[in-house]
Structure 1
Amino acid sequence: MSEDGPGRTAAPIPALTDPDRLRSLDETRLDSVPDEAFDRFARLVGDLLDVPVALVSLVDAERQFFPGATGLPEPWAARRETPLSHSFCQHVVDIEVPMVLPDARLYPRVRLNLAIEDLGVVAYAGMPLTDLDGRVLGSLCAIDSKPRAWTKEQLRTLGDLAAACSSELRLRIAVRSADEARRRAEEAHDRLAMLAGMSEMLGGTLDVSTAVDRLAHAMVPLLGDWCLITLVDPAGRPRTVSGVHRDPERDADLARFTALLTTGLGPESLIRSVLRSGRPVMRGVAGLDDVARGTTRPELVTLADRLGISSHLTVPITAAGDRVIGAVTLVNRPGRRGFDASDLRTAQDIGVRAGQAVGNSRLYGEQRHVAEVLQHSMLPALPAVPGIELAARYLPAADRVEVGGDWYDAFVQPDGELVAAIGDVAGHDIEAAASMGQLRNLVRGNAYGRDDPVEELVANLDRAIGGLRVPTVATAVLARVRPHGDGLRVCWCNAGHPPPLLIRADGAVSVAEGRGPLLGLARPPRRTGRALTLAPGDTLLLHTDGLIERRDQPIDEGQAELLAHLAAAGSGVPLNLLCDRLLAAAHRREDDVALLALRAG
């Protein structure tokens, strides 16, 4: 800034801060470093006009810089820039026409400019350098250290060189604009591809945390340098905040940031505003003050500084009925362009799709919880029987919310004898569950208080299913267990079910063969019973086919894997731990699993 007189400072020049002019200047990609093309223009001016100093001077809001220069004294020659206090060229930007001064010390506009004393500028002739829209970016200037009467020929030559220099500037801007247009086109293509695949990507899981993680990784770094995803509880309060940063070294800072943000949103928080109003907020230019105003945790400001913030936008995540269930926040670091209307539209689209995915995930979780509660309510508590250790497990398929048809049961007869059963009703819906409940009750009603052989009990069960018109086809194993010497005597009948497995106390594993037809057939078959003895420490394992059945392999291979696992586990494993290990080993299960294990004490 220069002074017009003693004690009076010149008013700022509005043209210097014009955003369109500054954007055009930025698109030249020039700075205070030598550029051969513009140095050549400066040398031509020096030679043709016979001046000691010639400059290609570009002016921004705070300085002038020289991509082309010749004859500058030190330290300015090395710096290739000066503050505006030493700038004559800023006035060319202001008046937008050539400025020709035979002796600058005689002109009020510049007579106190520090360039006269520090750079020896006395005679000055500056021609505007313009972009395609006529905006003046700077000047091509000739400078002498003594008064000089500029001739028409010299000014015409300077004007011709300025026109050629402006053409070079415009070429730089055009190349930059073409590169930017190509980059934006590629970015738009990538965004469309991301949006096209987002529904499938988010729909590929019904787990909320997995869906949120996939969403965050899809947005960074394509849409922003880092992001936050905030989900709220039914009262609208932030329940979880997660995020992703493009720089893995910032993961720890981001983890701390999200942890604090869960309870650290202040009344003026932009995220809280979006959660409350459902309207997006965008700041094309932002800084740490935005963070400080919106939080009750000062540490968040320090973390945001390390994570980087120069612009941000936040959009709502909306579920059915435009109910706000969360927010997506995108943040750019310094050095990346600020967010614009196109970014906002893309983010809003993502917010809608994320709302559908999160809503579906939550609905699935609620339905699954209801199904599991219902399923477990149908499964009995195991009785305590002297001399017999019992353990049971039920686990629904990982990718369904339906109530299954797998079941187990164990109850004590009036004489103290144990009846154990396990079964599987075809189907995975409410009808299958209802049939399962009926079948389990039929087993109990048919067997309780009766001393018939197990094959007779199963045959009578066949007749009851047909006579009562229970709409089901099922498999089951029914067993009677009674004391026998030091161990147990087990009599069982298998109706189309995977065979029981016998794990001896010495670790030997075998299959208890003897599999008959299914339950519920139109013409009930003849049933056959089997018997075996369990010595102390021996274990009998009853299970449904979900433990051994896989879509990609025969069921015999699944049973062989189970036998190998049991053999490797050994005989000394506590019964509950054995059941847990069997379920853990069935990590690829595609069906419900029920287990019932009993061990002779």
Structure 2
Amino acid sequence: MLQWDVISDADRVVLTDPRRLRSVRRIAGGPLPDDAFDRVAMLVRKLVDAPICAVCLVGDDRQILSGQTGVPDPLSSAREMPLTHSFSRHVVAAGAMLVVSDVRTEPRMRDNPVIQEIGAIAYAGAPITDPDGLIVGALCAVDQEPRVWTPSEVALLSELAEVCSSEVCLRIARAAAEEARRAAESAHQQLELLADLTESLAATMDMDEAMRRLGDIVTATLADWCVVAVAEDPGGSALVSTAHGDPDRAADMERLAALATDARADLRAMLRAAHRTGRPIRTPGMRSRITDPEVAAITDRAGFGAAMIVPIVSPVRRRPIGALLLVNRPDREDFSAAEEWTAAEVGRRAGLAVENSRLYREQRHMAEVLQRSLLTELPQIPGIQLHARYLPAQDGAAVGGDWYDAFAQPDGSVMVAVGDVSGHDIEAAATMGQLRNLVRGDAYGRDEEPGALLTDLDRTLYGLHVPASATAVLARVRRSASGYKISFANAGHPPPLLLQPDGSVQVWWVPPEPLLGLGLPLREPRTTARRWVPPGSTLILYTDGLVEDREQLLDEGIARLSEVLRANAGRPADDLCTSLLAAAPRRSDDIALLLVHLT
């Protein structure tokens, strides 16, 4: 490194000018041979008859010999030297050509180490400029004895320096064009990343899945690996997820997530830093802060180079609710300003996804509590065992209007019902409660058959303007001398199933009738179907979520349900419920299931 105490403050300002250094970086990628500049150096040697000639590019801590001839090793092989060995830095600092017959008499140059190392005595250097006129280096000739440089030699050196300047301007223009192209590609990629991220996060309301998707997308384009931590409640425990672009690191990442969840992990402290600042942090030496041996070993295997911590900010609460640690391998460059902007945008969009997930869970919980509060607690009835299950949909913003009910009549019969109000929201659940209560209030204490009861219910819904479009099956179970008599009415609902004692299954198809609550008075009364059932049978009432599949007909779903019943005949009713629910397709709808076992 350069010993700056030997450089004046004025020279230091020129040598460290960021614009000039950017041009130097654009011209030469490093201390590498350059055929074009080597030819210029050889031409100067022939025309000026100097033993050493070079095209020197002057950085902030070293001088690159982009073109050279006659320079002895090891400088010739290294193609660079520290600025303490540079005569050409004085050309850059002075901003003009420098001609010295004997550097040993020049106060600024007489202590230069190259006087002893390569025998440099006489020096003549002409400035090489970039398109903005900034001096990036010098075309120089060096003699190993005192020499008076002639005006023609000085003029020739100046002319050839102009040739070098033209080449420099061309290279800078090409480099700028390439940088612009890469920047455009990078901007396009980053916009694609943000679009993919937004689409992917919007497609799920599950927090764990959202964090996994975030990690997968980020490690595909923005970083080699990452740690995501979200704590929705201040002081609450954090959910931690990790991802790596290399699938072979999956086990390490899983272990790292467990360690980062542990309060002792150093990564937790890093992530908390983003909470304090509320903005991305690019801090060198972040790896050195890890003191936990196991975390250090995992991150070393993952590759811990450039790192950036990005806050995940809630757009609702306007504060950080988590953080994203982005890490690249040591062989990659630092994160750019553009990547920092993209990372900040990732944090904002992730915060929106977290808030959406939180609001979704709150609304879903409220709807579930409402719906479960409206579902019946099954009565204890001698000779009849009742078992019910309710499962909310896996998709959708809330539960819907599926319901079941059972109650004993004063005459000893039992009314059972299953229904499904249209919709998947709190309104559907509330309407379901109204409909269930109307069914109970209308049917209790009456000995009419289910068809007549549903006909009266239709009139009630129409007269009271209850917005309750629904399907339903209402059944009355009576004990008979030889078993049970079941009468039922079906308002647009999937057919009941009967599992008989011998393991066979009946599907109780009836001619279709309209849904309840269509807003029009019925022209014809609803019909009642009747079945005689032997003891030991089980009646199965259910909603369409148990059998519907977007890729199959309803008949195929009912056939699948019948096969499950046959395969599990003789099992306890609770186990039978579990088997039926397990056989359901991917649930896009709620499921209400009621089993009536007749002993």
Per the normalisation by structure 2, the TM-score is: 0.82
Aligned-pair distance for 1:594?
1.2
Check 1:444–1:246 CA distance in 2 against 1; reply closer, same or farther (3 A cut).
Answer: same
In structure 1, how many angstroms separate the alpha carbons of the residues matched to 2:348 and 2:272? 18
Q: Does 1:275 align with 2:275?
A: yes
Match of 1:489 in 2: 484
Match of 1:58 in 2: 57
Aligned-pair distance for 1:582?
3.2
Check 1:28–1:256 CA distance in 2 against 1; reply closer, same or farther (3 A cut).
Answer: farther
Alignment of 1:307-322 (within 5 A): 307-310=303-306, 312=308, 314-315=310-311, 317-320=313-316, 322=318
In structure 2, how many angstroms separate the alpha carbons of the residues matched to 1:179 and 1:369? 54
Match of 1:25 in 2: 24
- Give a deviation string over 1:335-382, Cα, whole Å, max 9, x none: 435433x55555555544444433222211110111112112222344
Structure 2: gaps spanning 5 or more residues: none
In structure 2, how many angstroms separate the alpha carbons of the residues matched to 1:153 and 1:409? 110
Q: For the Cα contact (< 8 Å) 1:503–1:539, is it kept in 2?
A: yes
Q: Does 1:460 align with 2:458?
A: no
- Give a deviation string over 1:254-304, Cα, whole Å, max 9, x none: 555555555469999675455356x42454xx3125973xx8968767766
In structure 2, how many angstroms separate the alpha carbons of the residues matched to 1:40 and 1:572? 96
Check 1:304–1:428 CA distance in 2 against 1; reply closer, same or farther (3 A cut).
Answer: closer
Aligned-pair distance for 1:202?
3.7
Match of 1:146 in 2: 145
Aligned-pair distance for 1:44?
1.3
Q: For the Cα contact (< 8 Å) 1:45–1:142, is it kept in 2?
A: yes
- What code does the residue aligned with 2:561 have? L
Structure 1: gaps spanning 5 or more residues: none
In structure 1, how many angstroms separate the alpha carbons of the residues matched to 2:114 and 2:325? 48
Moved more, 433-442 or 55-64: 433-442
Q: Does 1:109 align with 2:108?
A: yes
- What code does the residue aligned with 1:409 have? D
Name the SS of the counterpart of 1:320 in structure 2: coil
Q: Does 1:399 align with 2:407?
A: no
In structure 2, how many angstroms separate the alpha carbons of the residues matched to 1:119 and 1:250? 52
Check 1:147–1:428 CA distance in 2 against 1; reply closer, same or farther (3 A cut).
Answer: closer
Name the SS of the counterpart of 1:124 in structure 2: strand
Q: Does 1:374 align with 2:373?
A: no
Moved more, 265-274 or 394-403: 265-274
Moved more, 304-313 or 162-171: 304-313
- Give a deviation string over 1:61-82, Cα, whole Å, max 9, x none: 3332323222232333322223
Check 1:58–1:562 CA distance in 2 against 1; reply closer, same or farther (3 A cut).
Answer: same
- Give a deviation string over 1:24-57, Cα, whole Å, max 9, x none: 2111243222121122122212222222222222
In structure 2, how many angstroms separate the alpha carbons of the residues matched to 1:408 and 1:483? 25
In structure 2, how many angstroms separate the alpha carbons of the residues matched to 1:477 and 1:208? 40
Match of 1:530 in 2: 530
Match of 1:583 in 2: 581
In structure 2, how many angstroms separate the alpha carbons of the residues matched to 1:354 and 1:265? 23
Alignment of 1:200-599 (within 5 A): 200-220=199-219, 222-223=221-222, 228-235=227-234, 239-242=238-241, 244-248=243-247, 259-261=258-260, 263=263, 272=272, 274-276=274-276, 279-283=278-282, 286-289=283-286, 292=289, 307-310=303-306, 312=308, 314-315=310-311, 317-320=313-316, 322-327=318-323, 335-336=332-333, 338-340=335-337, 346-383=342-379, 390-411=386-407, 419-430=415-426, 432-444=428-440, 452=447, 456-463=449-456, 466-467=459-460, 469=463, 471=466, 472-474=468-470, 475-480=472-477, 482=479, 489=484, 491-496=486-491, 497-504=493-500, 507-514=503-510, 517-518=513-514, 522-523=522-523, 525=525, 527-534=527-534, 536=536, 539-551=538-550, 553-567=552-566, 569-571=567-569, 574-599=572-597
Match of 2:130 in 1: 131
In structure 1, how many angstroms separate the alpha carbons of the residues matched to 2:541 and 2:369? 23
Per the normalisation by structure 1, the TM-score is: 0.82
Moved more, 439-448 or 265-274: 265-274
- What code does the residue aligned with 1:204 have? A
In structure 2, how many angstroms separate the alpha carbons of the residues matched to 1:364 and 1:331? 32
Aligned-pair distance for 1:331?
5.5
Match of 1:187 in 2: 186
Name the SS of the counterpart of 1:233 in structure 2: coil
- Give a deviation string over 1:496-538, Cα, whole Å, max 9, x none: 33222234566544313345635566356253342243565x5
In structure 2, how many angstroms separate the alpha carbons of the residues matched to 1:552 and 1:531? 32
Q: For the Cα contact (< 8 Å) 1:230–1:238, is it kept in 2?
A: no
Check 1:560–1:169 CA distance in 2 against 1; reply closer, same or farther (3 A cut).
Answer: same
Moved more, 109-118 or 362-371: 109-118
Check 1:79–1:484 CA distance in 2 against 1; reply closer, same or farther (3 A cut).
Answer: farther
Check 1:597–1:554 CA distance in 2 against 1; reply closer, same or farther (3 A cut).
Answer: same
Q: For the Cα contact (< 8 Å) 2:403–2:592, is it kept in 1?
A: yes
